[in-house]
Each structure stands twice: as C-alpha cells, then as structure tokens.
Amino acid sequence: MTTRWGILATGRIAHSLADAINASNTAELVAVGSRTQEKADRFAAEYDNIQAHGTYDGLLADSNVDAIYVSTPHPQHVEWTIKALDAGKAVLCEKPMGLNHAEVMAMVHAAQSNHRFLLEAFMYRMHPQTQQIRDLLAEDAIGELRHIHATFAFNAPFSETSRLYAAELAGGGIMDVGCYPVSMARMIAGSEPTDVAATGMLARTGVDLYTSALLSFEGGVGAHVATGVGQQLENSVAIFGSQGSMHVAWPWQCPAEWRVTLSRGRETEEFTGTSASAYVYQVDEVDRCIQAGMVESPTMTWEDSIGNASVLDRWRAALGITYPQEKPETLAQPVYGRALNTANTTMPRDTIPGVGKSLSRIVMGCDNQPNLPHAAAMFDHFIEQGGNVFDTAYIYGGGRIETLLGQWLKARGIRSEVAIIGKGAHTPLNRPEYCRPQLTETLDRLQTDHLDIYFLHRDNADVEVGEWVDALNELHDEGLIHVFGGSNWEQERMEEANRYAAKHEKQRFSVVSNQFSLAKMLSPVWPGCVSANKDEFRAFLAAEELALFPWSSQARGFFTPRYDSIRAGESSEFRNSWNQPGDEEMKRCWFSDENFDRRDRAMDIADHKGVELINIALAYVLAQPFKTFPLIGPRFLWETTSSLSALDVELSDADIAWLDLAEKR
C-alpha cells in the first residue's frame, strides 16, 4: 500500500518534501493546500496530477489524502497539525513542532486522542549517517560519554520583514536551526538536561541573532550547542568520550556520500556510505509506521519532541525571548485556532450554598504551570471537558500561579462562568491580620473582585478560633469571598469554629480542604498538613454537611506505575516535569501494608472494570457519602484526560467497603 500525501502550505521546504515523495517508492503526492487558489495551482503545476486546494480546510477534507505534511511558518504548526489529526490524517509536522512545550503537548495529545500518527520532521534522525552514530555509541566505541559539541548557524542579511528576524513568526536561530543541535545532544546523551545556561546577542526585533548554550546532563556530561541566523558556524557535531571521539562534518543535511570519523588515540577510522536524500528516508519512515499501525516513530518519539521543546523554552528564557503569541495581551484563543468552547456541561456538577453557581466535581489544581502558554493549554482543555473550578493559593509560585490564572481569565473573558478557590494565611504568616492584605493582593493578581471559595491555608492553634471567624466574616460581608473554610484544619478546631459562628450568628466554615485519598497519608507531605481520612472526620463531614475539597486526592503517584519502580528499589523520576513528588516522599507518606492492600484491591476492581488504577482511586473519593470536589494536579493534558475518566466509574457500597478493608472477598 502506498501512502497518499497532501502538502499544507507551499513554501520552499514544501518543495523539498514534494520532491522526496516523488523519489520514494512508498509514497504518492496527491494534493496540495494553500491559502489562495492561485498559489495552490502554481505549486500543483510543478507536479503531475495533484489536486490543488485553495484552502487548508479543503485539503484536510480530501478523502484521497492519508498523510499531511504541515509546512506553514512556525506559529501555524499547532493549529493545522491538530486540525489535520482531528480530520483523521497522519501528520508530519515541520520542525520545530511548536513554539513551545505547551503547543507540542497539545499536538501530542491530539494525536493520542485521535490515535493518529504524528512525527516532527527532523529528517536527519532517519538517515543512515545518524544511525551509524547511534550504533557506535551503543558499542561504547568512544567509551564513557563526556562532552558534545553541536552547531548549526548561518549568516542572513538582517531585515525586519524577513521571516528569520520577525518575532511574530518565531524567528531567530534557536527555533529555525538551533533545534537541530539540541535534538542531537539529547539523542546522544539519552536523557534530558538538568540545567540550561545560555549567552548570545538579540536582534532589534527581539529574536536571537546568535547564541550558544551549555546543556548539563547527569553524570557530568555537558553539551555545548550554538546557533544563529546572523553568524556562520562550522555546522558539525563532535562527540567526546573517555576512550575517543566522533566527528560528523555534515550532520544536518546528510550528504549523499556521508561520513562519520571515529578517533581513538592515534588511530582514526572512517565509516562511510551512500544514500538518498534525508527527506526520502523521512517519507519512507512515515509510511513504514503507518503500515505497521504505529502512531509514533522510534526515530523521534512524542516524548522526544516534548523534551526538545522544553529545552528550547529554557534556552529562550535564559535570553529573555518571548514571542508575541506567548504574551498575556495577545493570548486571543486556544492553541487549536478557534474560540474556547464553554458549552460542555457533561461533567457532573454539584452546588454549595452561598457560591451561586454549580461546581464541577473535579477541580483543576493550579500549582503545576511553569508559564502562561502551558497554563492556557491546560485550563482551556479543562473547560472544554466541562470543568469550571480552579484552585490556587497566595503562596503558589510566589504569586506567579495566581497571576497566570488571572491573565488567562482576562484573555478568555469567562470569569462569571468559573469558580475560583483561593487560600491565604499560610505558615509563618498564619494569623487573622494577614488575611485581608493577602486577599487584596490575590484579587489583584487574579484580576477579579471576589473569590468564590476561600480557605485558610493552615491553622494556628495559638489563635482563638473566634478571631479567625471574625476576620473571615468581615471579608465575606464585604463580598470579597462568598464561602470559606479551613485547609489542613483538625476536626476539633472546625467544630469549635462553627460553634462560635452559631453563637454569634455569623457565617460558619462550610467547606474543608484537607488531604483525602484511597491511600491513607502516613506522614504529612508538607509541615502542617492534615488528613481527613480518619473515620471520625469522615462522619463529621457527613453529619455537618461540609463539602470536602481534598488535595492529593490520588496520593501523589501512589496509584501510577511509579509505585512499581519505587517498590522494586529503582528510580522513578519523571522527565519533562516540574514540582514532581520524589521517590522518598512516596515511601514516607504512602508506603504501608494497609495501603499496599488497598492498592491491590483497587487493581482488582480496575482490571474487572477495564479502567486505569488511578481511575478507581479517584472514583473512591468521588463516591463518599459527603460532598467531595477532589483537586487534581495534572502536569500534562493526558493526565487530565486520565483523571476525568474516573467520572465514568461507578463503585458500589460493597466496592467501597472492600477498598476500606472493611470486608473480604
């Protein structure tokens, strides 16, 4: 079977791919799409018998097309890749796949959701020359890896109207060709850098003219990468090890007569070969994967593309480069190129007296967002899945998280449709007099005039509960908060606070945000943390009709495959993540025989129902006899999707009793 190709956009690189398709024995060029019919016709006239579409949408609707090559300028990659995947097409997207990690994450999630093939077009990765590099490294031909030197740069005349120098087109060396040495260095090291430091010169348009970066990997391995659009470099790769080195003079274009030079002491060995264009190998790899039913290629996996984008983000951040599309004032719409869909109300909702709107049963925890593009992608997706409650706190990220949420809310214009949870008065500033100034700052960051729900982030037993109740009632009566409660408060203090409120005819604590999950927390995750897992606390919540907003509702990785690695004594540290719970934390907080038993029982139910283990853990929290609105803290879109699947899981009373270790089967 031959893969039938359509090319989306008609720039110079599109011709390179079209020529490769025609040179391949596995592919057929059948269509092209452009923004105008004239450009599409002009491109089609250069090739035999291909359909010319005057719109990109027309190309995506073409039933004769199996695979789409997205060759638009960088900022349009994400929109048209996702639209192509949604249209059921396989996609080869020109590098860099997205402007940032968030865009690549969204593209990968679209490929996962549609179960369609997606590959970032680093054509050198498929070439025999690169395979020779991999083979020599696998054979330890240079001994223990020590250092990598990779460069790709050229000197183009400066022009503010040039694609290469335009900030709105994501110009500059890092995105145009710097992505190559970064991808090569990461491939050679076989891991993600622990640190990225950079220096360089910016053009007056704000993009990088030339720059170099030092990538630090575990084990003392360093990679010096350099790029630029205003500086010519050697454009080669050198790899140094304890027993020798490798040098590749033309690593990126991959010439027809290729060469890898291996040096060990005074001995030099040449590995050579002849080959077709690197683009042909790329086209053939897409066909090979599609015919095999694969959705990603081992030559450049989805994780690899996400990791590469993350390093490019860090490189740009070190130089202070932000593209216009990434700024709050230009955050016009979601990455998929259409208005946010707020009409989905399929996620179960419930109410809390005093809030004034129904609340999604799952709450988006806002403490894992490294920047605005990532936050926007996560928040947009949550809204489109039917979620509408967001949890944040005064201390998260030193205020950065509240600021990101506020910028997104303003850009989307949906404040009235969502509920915002805020928290304040955290240790050591956990006294009533800190509530008002912190809340004022929180509201400024969020760009709103009230919080729907407010929690005292920690208790302070040295403060009389009446002082807390009085301070919160002042804020409530002024309309700054609608309902309030305690986070990490003991049952006795909650009861005392509500007795005081009743006696003085004041608003009571009506919500709680303590830790609660199927696995019982053995040791506080952080100092001052309190769990609601005790039977007495659960009975109290039900009797007093208090709504619980449990944090760490899925026990911070205990119900994921990380558990198996840690239990086996292996490292489970994730790559491409941040604020990630460590292995020692998991053992300290969750490892006990009772929790192991609960996990095993949850696994049995998950196997019986055909769902993920994590879904059973979250479904357990949702199935309590009191109102629960569990907080989740996804770092990636697929983690949100996985968590939301718990809403479709029904647990019987017998299931709950068995998970509570109250019954045997």
Residue pair 404/432 in contact by the 8 Å Cβ criterion: no
Pair type for strands 481-487 and 257-264? unpaired
Question: Which is the catalytic residue, given 83, 89, 95, 627?
Answer: 95
Nearest to 333 by CA among 373, 360, 368, 293: 373
Residue 609 phi/psi, 5° resolution?
-90, -10
Residue 357 annotated as catalytic: no
How far is it, in rounded angstroms, from Cα 380 to Cα 418? 12
In sequence order, the β-bridge partners of residue 93 are: 70, 120
Residue pair 377/636 in contact by the 8 Å Cβ criterion: no
How far is it, in rounded angstroms, from Cα 347 to Cα 644? 9
DSSP state, 222?
A: E
Helix axes 77-86 and 101-114, enclosed angle (nearest 10): 10
DSSP state, 39?
A: H
Q: What is the dihedral of CA 160, 166, 168, 170, to 10 degrees?
A: -170
How far is it, in rounded angstroms, from Cα 404 to Cα 371? 7
- Chain centre distance of CA 628: 26
How far is it, in rounded angstroms, from Cα 535 to Cα 628? 15
The 10 Å Cβ neighbour count of residue 603 is 13
Pair type for strands 222-228 and 237-241? unpaired
- Write the CB contacts of 662 (distance below 8 Å, at least 6 apart in sequence): none
Residue 297 phi/psi, 5° resolution?
-100, 140
Nearest to 514 by CA among 542, 539, 492, 485: 485
Residue pair 100/324 in contact by the 8 Å Cβ criterion: no
Q: What is the DSSP string of 538-553?
A: HHHHHHHTPEE--BST
How far is it, in rounded angstroms, from Cα 615 to Cα 42? 53
How far is it, in rounded angstroms, from Cα 606 to Cα 470? 47
Residues tagged active-site: 95
